[in-house]
Structure 1
Amino acid sequence: MMSKFTRTALYAAASTFVLGAAAQAQVFEQVGGGERRTVDVITVTAQQREESAQDVPLSIGAYDTDALANAGVKDIKDLISIAPGLMVTSTQSETITTARIRGIGTVGDNFGLESSVGVYIDGVFRSRNGVGFGDLGEIERIEVLRGPQGTLFGKNTSAGVLNVVTAAPEFEAGGSLEASLGDYGYSRFSGSITGPIFEDVLAVRLFGATGDRDGFQQLILDDGNGPAEVTNSETQEYFTFRAQALWTPSNSVEGRFIADYSKRDELCCSAVQWDYAATPAVFVGSVGGQVMQPADPEARVAYANREYVQEVEDQGVSAEFDIEMPIGTLTSVTSWRQWENSRTQDIDYSTADIAYRADGNYTDLSRFSQEVRLTGIWGDLDWLVGGFLSHEELELGDAIRFGDDWEGYLGRLLTAGSVPPLGTPAGVTATLQSIVGLAPVAALIGVPGAQGFLPIPAPGSAIPEGTGVAGDVYDQTAESWALFTHNTYRLTDNLSLTAGLRYTHETKNVYATFNTNSPAACGALETAFGPDPVAGLVAAATAAGLPAASISGLATAAGNICLPYARTALDQTGYDRERTDEQVSGTVRLTYDFADDFMGYVGYSRGFKAGGFNLDRSFNGPIDPALGYTDVDSGFAPEIIDAYEVGFKSQLFGNVLQLNANAFYQEVEDFQLNTFTGISFVVDSIASIESYGVEIDFAYATPIDGLDISGGYAYVNAEYGDEASTAPNLRGNQISLSPENFLTAQVIYERPIWGDIWGLASLDARYVSEYNTGSDLDPEKVQDAFTILNARVGLSQADGEWSLEAWGRNLTDEAYAQVAFDQFAQSGGFGAFMGAPRTWGVTLRKEW
């Protein structure tokens, strides 16, 4: 909970700010300051209609071209520097990006889970946050819609929406060239051109950009075949292109066509040791591997024996038509998108060859969607009806394999303590011998002299390099359609009622095939104890009357020898499942205009995120002794959010100050939690989560000509309910990646210096309080509170023809974890994917 002191300080600061603004405005008029500067009003489409952000009865952060440019926003992750309450993080690759609003979001490492925060770019939905990650190009504005948006933006917007609008074609000819250079070998070159093809009928806009950057993390790469190589990771190399056409054949028809293509080829993402105990470091060292112990995240040094490669292709086309009809405006949005990713990964994040992803790891995602809306005004009723359908095809390939050091490493772990000090590298074979040498177990399986029944692989051949998953393939198809309506009725001159309703129907089919190159050690256990060797061994040992401690030790050993990647019990059956979810979501809001420049609102909304399937190996079906697992169900339930909000929006002192605030309360049912256990990803449906808090946004045009200040504060208390029984340590605690306090501020100062030359200085700051970065809330994964400062200074010609700017991000070089995690099979070892360090550069821009 927020302390009394914190509340008092915030109230005092807000009161001082408002009174100070009022006093300054009054003084300005008294001294004859002339026409007072005011805050620009941003037009948004948060309700699928163009209207002032100040007239929309919901919590919105709206950021225009200048605010985004001065904050250096190029992608959705950059947006966190000026958007309070927003968290965006990346983990194993930048394609695995997760956005959270009001503490609610979906861990992006598993493509079976869709995002709780929807990302829309020019009206087209990107079904995973990582699919929407990349250079956004020329941005007109970004709207951050907080809370469920399940009526107009549909399913999978249960936590909020990032609505990105790029610059459209213009009928006035123009263009721009931009070049940026910075440290870490950073470069970005972009250009655009726009203008008419046929005057007042057809205009086009072309944009292209290419970017490169050396990695800002040092990677010690040692494949065991010579001296270690010191290279960089977190590199950047991409190209993006966007072509648009604006067609206005008549006063009643307008069409916008967009085609875009992006390609990225990067070495990403390595992880540093976040907190690393001495014991796992000794075990890694016993097979010739290296990690940083004691851990020093600030050094930004990572270790691997295989490179991290990330290749992404993203392309799509869309067409949006607005047709004025006697009854209203008909809008049609049609889109097709294709996103492809392939990557390799050293999943143990050490120079030991323990486990890795090589070939066979890819994601292909294609999606077609069609939306139709009809809007109009009938007396005091502003109405909207519409329909939506989409077809998505997802193919995901996964292949995790054991490295050359895994057998020796595991052998030492299994026999540690019996052969001082670390156990023996032949421990896998020794452990198998001890299992089959148990007389009660041998008697139970009915084979006298079980040694002959269960051939024991020789040391060095129990788990050969390259065994594991030869290639798992998941094919998922999702069909979704919806009908919706959203209407505002003016009850009186000051009181309006907004009501929206949406029915969504979605069917998902998943067909998965599994191909395992099982190591001999796991094969031996499967032969002896069945498709579930751990359960089979436990049953045999229990029936034989072994002590509970012995049974637990046997089960742990068998589980480590037969990790999910080594087991063949899915190879003959695979998955073939279907699920259908349907839900009615909606909103109801009352808005009251207390004055022309002050409105209050109260509202309720329901958001819905469809259920799905965990696209990872799951062993939870009935067992056929000959076939293995049958009828496996890796499905999980839909996520539903009910949200209540009360707030106000104001334009004070003649719109010198815009001040908006709200309080919210949200209940989440069946929260889809994706957790990495150190071995695999597990999806749990958490019965309930509560999220409540306050959000404040302001923009102030100071009496000093050219000086503007804006910012915001969010207090978010998002806690797991007491029903989180599958993970007792979650109960009643703040959920992961959800700080209680966010504070952002942006100061922009532009003034003429001499002649028509203007100067620019801007500063933006973001503070977040302490939070846990791990889904399991392990105390070792806590990130302390920190502040990020970004700045920009420059010169420009008054008409904007050219500008030269120097900029810096994370000026104090804060070292913070985006996400901390359990390192693979290294109990007591924690890695972290770090945020970017201090960077700086210069940008030259030419416009005409």
Structure 2
Amino acid sequence: MVADTKKGSPTDDDRTTGLARMMLRALLLAGAASWAAPAFAQDQAIAPDDGGAAPVVTAAAADEPAAQTTPPVASGEIVVTARRRQENVQDVPIAVSVVSGATLDAVGTYNIQRLTQLAPTLQFYSQNPRNTFINIRGIGAPFGLTNDGFEQGVGIYIDDVYYNRIASATLDFVDVERIETLRGPQGTLYGKNTTAGAINITTRAPSFEFEGKAEVSLGNLDFVQGKASISGPLSETVAARLSVTGTSRRGTLFDTYKSTYIQSQDSIGVRGTVLWRASPNLAITLAGDYNLQDPNCCAFAYGGYGPTQRAANRQYPALISYFPGYSVPSIDPYDRLTDADAALRARNEHGGLSARAVWDIDDANTLTSVTAWRYWDWSPANDRDYTGLPIYTAVNNPTKQNQYTQEFRFNHQGDGYDVVFGLFGFYQEIRTSGLQQTGPAASRWLLAPPSGGVCTPTATALACNPAVLNNVVAINDIRLDNTSLAAFAKLNWEFGRLTVSPGIRLNYDNKDGLYDSVVTGTASDGTRQVVSAAPGSPYFSDPWTAAQRGVQASQFFEPQYDAWNLSYDVNLRYEITDDVNLYANYARAFKTGGINLNGVPADANGAPILAAGTIEPEKVDHFEVGIKTQFLDRRATLNVTGFWTEIRDFQANVTNGQFGTIRGYLANADKVRSRGVEADFSIRPSAQFNAYLSGAYTDATYTRFTDAPCPPELSGGTTVTGSQVPGPAGVPGSLSPANCDVSGQVLPGVSEWTASWGAEGNVPSTLFGEEGQFYLGYDASYRSDWSSNPSPSIYTNVEGYSLHNFRGGFRTDRFDAFAWVRNAFDQDYIDLLLAGTGGNTGLIAAQVGDPQTWGGTIRFNF
């Protein structure tokens, strides 16, 4: 068949994309039309299923220390909406943990990063808000710098609205009711096809009784945090809630170059919600939020040196010696010193609007519509060479995103069964305007040194001429248009004590991308020229532009991806007794394919290898069995889960081995596996004491990945050819393999052993005439060592550590005043280790965890 090349003649892909966008527009229009529902609403009370006020958590969850002044109800029931209907968490046949807003406030968990200390199998890593990734059980997102063209494996939902970019979900929590963390694939219940799990955040709904609260926290490092919310009726049918939060803290890392602290916290969040009970069986909730994070951030400290296979005169110790008078501020990362000479910025602004309508058609049927728009504006500035030398003077990728979502769900409650049907539409537009610029130290750092390594006044080596690489500038235009449509359904069918829950999802994804990097540099004749990778282009043979091309060259390509896929799962639950449930799950899930938008490897003629422009979807087979139990009159809970997840075509972040490459690209590893056991225990023998213990063993490995990027100790030398044998690891001047077989090695970012535990006790008493409780609480977490490099490296293995937190104070129904200390024993620990930029120099950069912090909080309810 010959393609029609006439201008304006649509291809099959054009027709498919156009159809998809027409369907999305139809969904959005239907969402808008759903506001006509009041005319058809029947005069009856709002059913609690999937609408109205948020469910009430009536006791501490398995991983949740209590922060209430009143004792729990005897039933110990925790009501959640993890499966799009209200049910006791102990009846949900999946691994799910619940943390209430009261607990978040008590233990000082005010963002997702701190949530990891309460959820052992949740991993959170962040170089800055954009380069942030969240994993569950070691899977979810490729470990490395963010690439706009792929999807997250862990879905973030706030009040039913999907947040596509993790950067837009790094906000401080605002007036949270509860957080449910669901582990394992969730695509048959949630709008986006999340394959590793979902974090489902529910904020407090507007109240028809006047209420409010305010709190202020002060601490060391100039920590100041304020929170306030107020809610009440505007009329008999309309209620509103307004919540604000603000956090400020001095940085934990001192930049000796600029004589200022960096890694600070500076954020503000505002959220407003209006609930309109349009009729007794129709509730419409309108919400809007604005969040701004503008810290002096982000940089790394010197983390060490690990020899590579690069020539000794091009490794870190030799390179540093080429700059007389320069030395790092400290070789101990725990001195918390750096010397970032480039400008730093991490301004992260995001917000949005949503409209949620819940119509209880009758006692058995509920229709829910969720319409939302969100935006994200990322304005960064980075020092990506991790030194105080002007090697890279700018590596910035400011990004703007708009996303639109529309979801419909229809819940039907039958005799012995219930079912949820859903339609989901998503459109995302990302525009990134990148900048990368080298400085006067780049030639000496990045180019081959002269014989003997000494630059004399008469030396002609390009490395001795700062002008060769000074002011080489890459202007990157990166675009993504991303459309996703899905239909899904979930059935719960009861056969006595056995409940069978099959689910299905049909998904269509289309991604259209553009990557256009125009690199310009100064040629040897003093003119500014485009640095082209194509032989025969102007100035291609010029020695200066040839040297510049070895660091970075212009590149243009337009990747495109579209595909349909089918997911399905089945959950089995058997109720042995009212307090003991067994369950087993199988899920076949997909994480949609993606496109590379950070550049791709080039062929011998300098042209981009277009086959690397797209990545295949992940194919997930997930198995899970577990038992959920309660005993001691439901004052004790013990839940145990075993899981086994296999992923084919795992989406991994790799590098192409080109000298000077900064940003990696996405590729598919053959197969990975994550398996393990999780256990959660909690006990509340009386209203005066509660305790909890959660732990997990996770074995997450590359089952087969034979062409992975090599770790630093096996990189940097001349690549082997023919029958040549690679040299020993970490020996300068050795031959390097073209790629490495990491089959059987661990996935990055996941510890084999993790745990969290804590307890709280209280004594009823009276203070200043107020009846209340004196209380003392303790929380701790532990993780064993883990790999901080996509291919495990002897230089980037992070040692295990434990963190311990204490709090104590006095509370009544009206106020709570307490002191707290976090990382009480001032444990030195690492958040992240990275191999330094510049081509296998052996430099290791370290992101150091927070030191001991302490302070006090006072909270009022009215």
TM-score interval, normalised by the smaller of the two chains? 0.7 to 0.9
| 1:563–1:833 CA distance, 2 compared to 1 (3 A) | farther
Is 2:170 the partner of 1:133? yes
CA distance in 2, matches of 1:116, 1:328: 31
| 1:644–1:431 CA distance, 2 compared to 1 (3 A) | same
The TM-score normalised by the length of structure 1 is 0.83
Query: Are the equivalent residues in 1 in contact too, given 2:533–2:549 (CA < 8 A)?
Result: no
Match for residue 145 of structure 1 among 162, 173, 182 = 182
Is 2:757 the partner of 1:752? no
Distance apart, 1:308 and its partner CA: 1.2
Is 2:370 the partner of 1:333? yes
Distance apart, 1:564 and its partner CA: 5.0
Q: How does 1:2-401 map to 2 (within 5 A)?
A: 38=74, 40-91=76-127, 93-106=128-141, 107=143, 109-199=146-236, 201-221=237-257, 229-276=258-305, 280-287=316-323, 290=326, 292=328, 295-326=331-362, 328-357=365-394, 361-401=397-437
Match for residue 843 of structure 2 among 829, 836, 839 = 829
Q: How does 1:661-700 map to 2 (within 5 A)?
A: 661-675=640-654, 679-700=662-683
Could you say which residue in structure 1 is the equivalent of 2:716? none
Could you say which residue in structure 2 is the equivalent of 1:769? 784
Task: Give RMSD over aligned pairs.
Answer: 2.8
Q: How does 1:245-644 map to 2 (within 5 A)?
A: 245-276=274-305, 280-287=316-323, 290=326, 292=328, 295-326=331-362, 328-357=365-394, 361-411=397-447, 414-415=448-449, 418-419=451-452, 422-424=453-455, 430=461, 459-464=465-470, 466-469=471-474, 471-491=475-495, 493-520=496-523, 529-530=535-536, 561-563=548-550, 565=552, 567-568=553-554, 570=555, 574-620=556-602, 633-644=612-623
| 1:289–1:751 CA distance, 2 compared to 1 (3 A) | farther
Of residues 133-142 and 606-615 in structure 1, the stretch that sits farther from structure 2 once superposed is 606-615
Tell me the secondary structure at the aligned position of residue 187 of structure 2: coil
CA distance in 1, matches of 2:227, 2:831: 29
CA distance in 1, matches of 2:627, 2:248: 44
| 1:681–1:158 CA distance, 2 compared to 1 (3 A) | same
Tell me the secondary structure at the aligned position of residue 74 of structure 1: coil
Q: How does 1:738-817 map to 2 (within 5 A)?
A: 738-754=750-766, 756-797=771-812, 799=813, 801-817=814-830
* 2:644 partner letter: Y
* 1:695 partner letter: E
CA distance in 2, matches of 1:377, 1:357: 58
Query: Are the equivalent residues in 2 in contact too, given 1:155–1:609 (CA < 8 A)?
Result: no
Distance apart, 1:468 and its partner CA: 2.5
| 1:745–1:530 CA distance, 2 compared to 1 (3 A) | farther
Structure 2: segments with no counterpart, 5+ residues: 1-70, 308-314, 710-739
The TM-score normalised by the length of structure 2 is 0.82
Distance apart, 1:367 and its partner CA: 0.4
* 2:472 partner letter: T
Cα displacement string for residues 370-405 of structure 1 (whole angstroms, at most 9, x for unaligned residues): 000001112112111110001100111211110111
* 2:566 partner letter: V
* 1:424 partner letter: C
Query: Are the equivalent residues in 2 in contact too, given 1:336–1:368 (CA < 8 A)?
Result: yes
CA distance in 1, matches of 2:376, 2:75: 40
Tell me the secondary structure at the aligned position of residue 49 of structure 1: coil
Distance apart, 1:356 and its partner CA: 3.0
Query: Are the equivalent residues in 2 in contact too, given 1:209–1:240 (CA < 8 A)?
Result: yes
* 1:789 partner letter: H
Cα displacement string for residues 768-809 of structure 1 (whole angstroms, at most 9, x for unaligned residues): 111111112111001111101122111122x2x111111121
Query: Are the equivalent residues in 1 in contact too, given 2:643–2:677 (CA < 8 A)?
Result: yes
| 1:695–1:631 CA distance, 2 compared to 1 (3 A) | closer
CA distance in 2, matches of 1:527, 1:94: 33
Tell me the secondary structure at the aligned position of residue 641 of structure 1: strand
| 1:426–1:76 CA distance, 2 compared to 1 (3 A) | farther
* 1:84 partner letter: P
CA distance in 2, matches of 1:459, 1:712: 59
| 1:381–1:528 CA distance, 2 compared to 1 (3 A) | closer
Query: Are the equivalent residues in 2 in contact too, given 1:383–1:487 (CA < 8 A)?
Result: yes
Cα displacement string for residues 317-361 of structure 1 (whole angstroms, at most 9, x for unaligned residues): 111111011350001111100000111111112111000326x63
Q: When you count helix as a share of all residues, which structure comes out higher?
A: 1
Tell me the secondary structure at the aligned position of residue 77 of structure 1: helix
* 1:749 partner letter: G
Cα displacement string for residues 660-715 of structure 1 (whole angstroms, at most 9, x for unaligned residues): 11111110111111246763213221110011110111221124x42111121111
Distance apart, 1:622 and its partner CA: 9.1
Distance apart, 1:410 and its partner CA: 3.2
Distance apart, 1:312 and its partner CA: 1.6
Aligned-pair identity in percent equals 27
* 2:151 partner letter: E
CA distance in 2, matches of 1:167, 1:656: 26
Tell me the secondary structure at the aligned position of residue 756 of structure 1: strand
Structure 1: segments with no counterpart, 5+ residues: 1-34, 222-228, 433-457, 538-553
| 1:818–1:606 CA distance, 2 compared to 1 (3 A) | farther
Tell me the secondary structure at the aligned position of residue 445 of structure 2: helix
Distance apart, 1:583 and its partner CA: 1.2
Distance apart, 1:640 and its partner CA: 2.4
Could you say which residue in structure 2 is the equivalent of 1:841? 855
Could you say which residue in structure 2 is the equivalent of 1:451? none
CA distance in 1, matches of 2:633, 2:191: 37
Distance apart, 1:719 and its partner CA: 0.6
CA distance in 1, matches of 2:741, 2:325: 33
Query: Are the equivalent residues in 2 in contact too, given 1:692–1:718 (CA < 8 A)?
Result: yes
Distance apart, 1:295 and its partner CA: 2.8
Distance apart, 1:111 and its partner CA: 2.6
Number of equivalent positions: 741
* 2:204 partner letter: A
Query: Are the equivalent residues in 2 in contact too, given 1:138–1:166 (CA < 8 A)?
Result: yes
Of residues 475-484 and 742-751 in structure 1, the stretch that sits farther from structure 2 once superposed is 742-751
Distance apart, 1:313 and its partner CA: 1.2
Cα displacement string for residues 185-230 of structure 1 (whole angstroms, at most 9, x for unaligned residues): 111122111001112x111000112221110111111xxxxxxx32
| 1:631–1:64 CA distance, 2 compared to 1 (3 A) | closer
Query: Are the equivalent residues in 1 in contact too, given 2:521–2:545 (CA < 8 A)?
Result: no
Tell me the secondary structure at the aligned position of residue 562 of structure 1: helix
Tell me the secondary structure at the aligned position of residue 465 of structure 2: coil
